[in-house]
Chain A
Amino acid sequence: MMTELNQASSKNAQPVAQTQVAKVPVNVLIVGVGGQGVIMVSKVLASLCQQQGYEVKQSEVHGMAKRGGSVFSHVRFGEKVYSPTIPVGQADVLVALEWAEGLRWLPYLKPETGIFIADTQKIVPPFACRDRKHGAANGYAKETVADISQMISNCYAADAGTTAAELGNARAANTLLLGMLSTTLDFPESEWRDIISKFVPPKTIDINMQAFDQGREWVERYDPAALAQGQAEAGSVAQQPHQVQFELPVITEAWCKSCDICVKFCPERCLSLNENQVAELTKPELCTLCRICERLCPDFAISLNYKH
């Protein structure tokens, strides 16, 4: 086993977060979106640490976990561990199952030496797609892998989701990240495999082992310069210019039959029925020109005209 490990380590250009583990606990922060498997990944790591004889604490917060919110789990292990949580700027390794979540927790990474392992897959929340104004930009995190690679020296961002899907199971993305993580911690590779095999559904062990290999190989092949270059090219998709502009809705009073449909469905709540029971644009400053009222009006009483 020892030989195997040494071979692996001489072959892989691997970051190591754990040279003085006996004295100071190692801090691994695992983050993602509810439902992705953050807790599973951290349980695998915690079990492994315990089997290797370390004291380990793993802390998470439940409750909103299943509701698509931000989820995190602190894993600390060493000879003696007191606090269950990792202070800001003290994480040796940050493992992100989702790109924007990784960015959120970057301040927890140890300056200079901290290692950032991330899946570049994006889970865009509806919150990021809320601005209905013409040509509004998506609110998702703007920073690219190239940007982050320039900010921190140890950025390992792989498209684990796509790779895992190609292997036949998108959920194996977590195991691919574990493969990447395994190169940063001094635990025998075979024991990683044993632990992972115990945690994943039996039918998926083969796929997960392949994903684990891919993660390790990814770190071995990793070339930051090429990656940054490639990302820079693939990055910014040009927004197509929108030529058509509209003016605020105009309501033809005579045609309005007070059905209230436009008032009910206006996403910004800028319409209401006036004292004559006719629809009126009472809060024009909130109108995003989305045209829902125009489309829903059964009597063609509302129109948005082109702006010239």
Chain B
Amino acid sequence: MPQLAENKSKTTTIDQASAKAKRNLDARPMMGNEAIARGVWEAGVRVAAAYPGTPSTEIMENLGKYPAEDLHAEWSTNEKVALDVAIGGSFAGVRSFTSMKHVGLNVASDSLMSQTYIGVNGALVLVVCDDPGIHSSQNEQDSRIFGQLAMVPVLEPTDAQEALDYTKLAFDISEQFDTPVIVRSTTRLSHTRSLVKTGPRKEVPCKGFLEQPTKNVMIPGHARVRHGALLERERLLKEYLEDSELNRWEEGSDEVGIVTLSTAYTYVKEMMPDASVLKLGTSYPLPEAKIREFYASVKRVIVVEELEPIIENQLKVLGLEVEGKSLFPREGEFSTEVVQEGFANAGLLPPIPKLELIDIQPMARPPLLCAGCPHTTAYMALRALNSRVSGDIGCYTLAAVEPLKAIDTSVAMGSSIGNAAGIAMAGTETRPIVATIGDSTFLHAGIPPLINAVYNNANITVLLLDNHITAMTGGQHHPGTGKNLRGEVAPKVDYEALIKSIGVKWFRKIDSYNMGSVFQSLREATLYKGVAVVILDRPCVLDPVKLKGPAFQVKSESCTGCQACMNLGCPAISWSDELYEGHHKVQIDEAACIGCSLCAQVGSTNCIQPVETEH
């Protein structure tokens, strides 16, 4: 048994706690994304638009909870559209906002690269959430590089309080320096709750539309002039940052000085509490004079930053001697352990002692498609048809692994259709070529490539997996759901009419839960020469409402242990304790089963039956 604490010491702890209670009670735990949304609202924003994407989704979800009289908040069809809507708000003279995940900025970057020349009328702020460690993304890009490319300042908060404060400040900087501003978050910041003190909303009067064509209309003659203005803006921003509260110098020992920012700062403080630290608020531009002053106060300077050496390289350009990525990794998410190892590499901390850790081989538990997921049928059929499948971004990417294992490629939002067309144009593939794309992804970036495939007569089948929601990010509405961000009724895209107008000649809509029809339709579609479109239609089992129908059960006496049902990868089906000729019989978890009947449809005997209910 563990050592018991004396009751005395307990009392002391409680007393200390009640003393501290007075200190923190005016704050409350908020997720980073919640705090960003609060900052946006407090800054007096009137127009906010976004497309969902982990880890940024909760920002717009939270904004949708603030009164509609305060701000217009919307789910847009993609990140570029969202940024364009926010730019429109800025043109109109009100504070405007958009948020996105890192790869969303790639989509929106076209507009950003021009808008940075135009500047702002009403303030314009973009929150970009990177995903170091690739918790839920297709790459690990460091979006901070976009700051330098667009010559737009990049603010990097450390915790939820800073997330709120920096977001608010970003709007002031935007107006003061006539520039869009990026606030950069990471998964760890966006999804960590820490204490936040909130403030009131600042009502910002609308400036009205400013008619200034040389600034608002980017034709070559105007743009050449504006490029010079950008360089001047960069100089002014550097000057501003020299005295800004965004940068904090925490004096310590002169042996080593650490330049850090974002969540990396917290790991530095954890491991080197007494070091001299220059905590920056921006990764671009940098306060040069302040950095030189910091350099003069210490014998050695180390930069601790996650992913790319953005600050390190800028310091090198200034001719400063610096260590960074020689000690710390350029890939993966930082943690206390990673930073500790970096400092050990630098000889500043003793080598990490080998902990005697408990030696257990953990069981793999990969994420799964849900019990009753309508995507399952599509991939069962595609697997059986031995198709070459270009996948897309969504829950269905989970069908890339066993047991469905039916996706050959997955690149970026909307890529599936173009990729499939290209495979077809190469003329070398002997298997049927199929693109699979979800409804939300189709509306995001799937329509132009479908038009292109029809226009260029690609011999492909497009499988539109319509589950009536943006599922992977937790169930957000889109133009195909008939509702908007605030849950109000909205116009609904008619996919059949849309596809028809594009010029698709072979088209069919099928119930995802009808396995026979899905097989048959896909076979016919893949035999068709040209673009064939199959829409598989069934709502997601989780969102917008969690579905639960009468469950199925396994009649053990007729189960032959064929396990054909387990090919679905359904989390409600597992082995029972019984064997049939050496093979495990199966069982269904009635609480998890939603009654989709797919297992009964694929089984080789009739052992799977609806649970008998009392009449």
Q: Which A residues are closer than 8 A to B by beta carbons?
A: 2, 5-6, 9-10, 13-16, 18-19, 21-22, 33-34, 43, 46-47, 50-64, 66-70, 79, 81-85, 87-89, 100-101, 103-104, 106-107, 109, 111, 113, 115, 124-130, 132, 134-136, 138-141, 143, 151-154, 170, 186-188, 224, 237, 240, 242, 244-246, 264-265, 267, 290-292, 295-296
Contact = CB atoms under 8 A, between A and B. Distances in A.
A206 B549 CA distance: 28
Contacts of A60: 191-192
Nearest to A68: B368
A19 B9 contact: yes
A69 B368 contact: yes
B336 A125 contact: no
Contacts of B135: 61, 63-64
7 contacts: A15-B2, A126-B571, A130-B403, A151-B358, A224-B1, A242-B582, A246-B581
A103 B27 CA distance: 35
A26 B84 CA distance: 46
B351 interface: no
A63 B577 contact: no
Interface string B16-30: 111111111101110
Contacts of B545: none
Interface centre among B2, B57, B270, B366 (most CB of A within 10 A): B2
Contact of A242 (B5, B560, B581): B581
A99 B364 CA distance: 13
A103 B24 contact: no
Given A60-B191, A126-B573, A5 B363 contact: no
A67 B194 contact: no
Interface string B472-507: 111000000000000000000000000000000000
Interface in B28-49: 28-29
A56 B194 contact: yes
Given A14-B4, A244-B582, A128 B363 contact: yes
Interface stretch (B202-210, B261-269, B458-466): B261-269
B557 interface: no
Given A55-B195, A68-B367, 20 more contacts: A5-B10, A15-B2, A16-B10, A50-B29, A53-B18, A53-B21, A53-B24, A53-B25, A62-B58, A63-B54, A69-B367, A85-B188, A111-B356, A126-B570, A127-B363, A127-B402, A130-B403, A141-B360, A152-B358, A265-B567
5 residue pairs, one from A and one from B, having the closest CB atoms = A63-B136, A242-B582, A53-B20, A53-B21, A69-B367
Contacts of B16: 21-22
A170 B590 CA distance: 14
Nearest to A70: B365
Interface in B323-353: 335-337, 340
A132 B363 CA distance: 18
Contacts of A100: 362-363, 365
A63 B29 CA distance: 21
B62 interface: no
Contacts of A107: 357-358, 360
A64 B403 contact: no
A134 B370 CA distance: 28
B590 to A, nearest CB: 12
Interface string B446-473: 0000000000000000000000000011
Given A52-B21, A53-B20, A19 B584 contact: no
Interface string B242-259: 000000000000000000
B55 interface: yes
Contacts of A135: 579, 582
Interface string B571-597: 101110101011110100001000000
B195 A56 contact: yes
B569 to A, nearest CB: 5
A16 B191 contact: no
B contact residues, range: 35 or more
B604 interface: yes
Contacts of B567: 265, 267
Contacts of A61: 55, 135-136, 187, 191
Given A46-B29, A50-B27, A61-B187, A6 B7 contact: yes
Contacts of A129: 566, 574-575, 584, 586
B188 A87 contact: no
B267 A82 contact: yes
A13 B605 CA distance: 55
B562 A290 contact: yes
A66 B22 CA distance: 37
Contact of B14 (A5, A101, A290): A5
A140 B365 CA distance: 10
Contacts of B363: 100, 103-104, 125, 127-128, 139-141
A55 to B, nearest CB: 6
B428 interface: no
A10 B11 CA distance: 13
Contacts of A46: 29, 193
B296 interface: no
B355 interface: yes
Contacts of B367: 34, 64, 67-69
Contacts of B571: 68, 125-126
A104 B564 contact: no
B352 to A, nearest CB: 10
Given A69-B368, A242-B581, A87 B7 contact: no
Nearest to B519: A264
A88 B338 CA distance: 11
B355 A111 contact: yes
Interface string B167-192: 00000000000000000000110011
Contacts of A56: 29, 193-195
Interface string B214-256: 0000000000000000000000000000000000000000000
